[in-house]
Structure 1
């Protein structure tokens, strides 16, 4: 089963809270997380966000109010969210959602540091997409 390590906790319940913009998820080991849509969007595992290698990440901004328009199952190991800004290429494995939930505090701090280093505001609009074409690599 791709994306799921043997013995990894699996989700028991998944609830989308549109008003508070969080994904509530309960795992088989008893862990429960409320993962903000913004955090999911900023740390999407897609190539569009992560790039094709270290240092190629695209810093995401203006995602505080992003909503979840859909959550599609991917096999029995992941979900693929459809965000209100049109982003829909990230596949979030159960392990990755567990990581986002359990490391939220550190990830928010890391995000704030990356914004500061880039001299960007969290609510700044994303720059228009330039000539980067993933298919050309």
Structure 2
């Protein structure tokens, strides 16, 4: 099953900070590095169980500096903010492709609710009337 979800081509576009994934069925996805970073499957981001997720902020300009294959089942991305502990299985990477719109909308809602920003140089201040 995981082999069926393995991309046939992977390209990192450094200028636009996107990862392009082509699949054997002809589908193509472009995932921003920021999206991949804030949805890292690492324990640092996901926690060790439900409800322990750590909301990532200030990652708007993050880039991938290296992509390392992990066996025949996953990729490890090295981000320029030093994060490199997430192993993106073929299945997880494919789910990120398919669920990009809903996950991104959820992320933006959680950021706003927490008073956080995507831009590392922006500080959000909320005032209560």
| TM-score, with length taken from structure 2 | 0.88
Instruction: Give the deviation of 1:21 after TM superposition.
Output: 0.4
Contact 1:70 1:83 in 2 (8 A): yes
Residues 1:26 and 2:22 are matched in the alignment: yes
Partner of 1:75: 71
Contact 2:18 2:33 in 1 (8 A): yes
Residues 1:35 and 2:31 are matched in the alignment: yes
Q: For 1:35, what is the secondary structure of its paired residue? A: strand
1:77-128 per-residue CA deviation (whole Å, 9 max, x = no partner) reads 1100000000000000111111111111111100011112212122247xxx
- Tell me the matched-pair count: 121
Contact 1:68 1:82 in 2 (8 A): yes
Contact 2:45 2:53 in 1 (8 A): yes
Alpha carbons of 1:55 and 1:28: their partners in 2 closer, same or farther (altered >3 Å)?
same
Q: For 1:122, what is the secondary structure of its paired residue? A: coil
Any gaps of 5 or more consecutive residues in structure 2?
122-129
Please provide the CA RMSD for this pair.
1.4
Residues 1:12 and 2:12 are matched in the alignment: no
| TM-score, with length taken from structure 1 | 0.83
Partner of 2:97: 101
Partner of 1:129: none
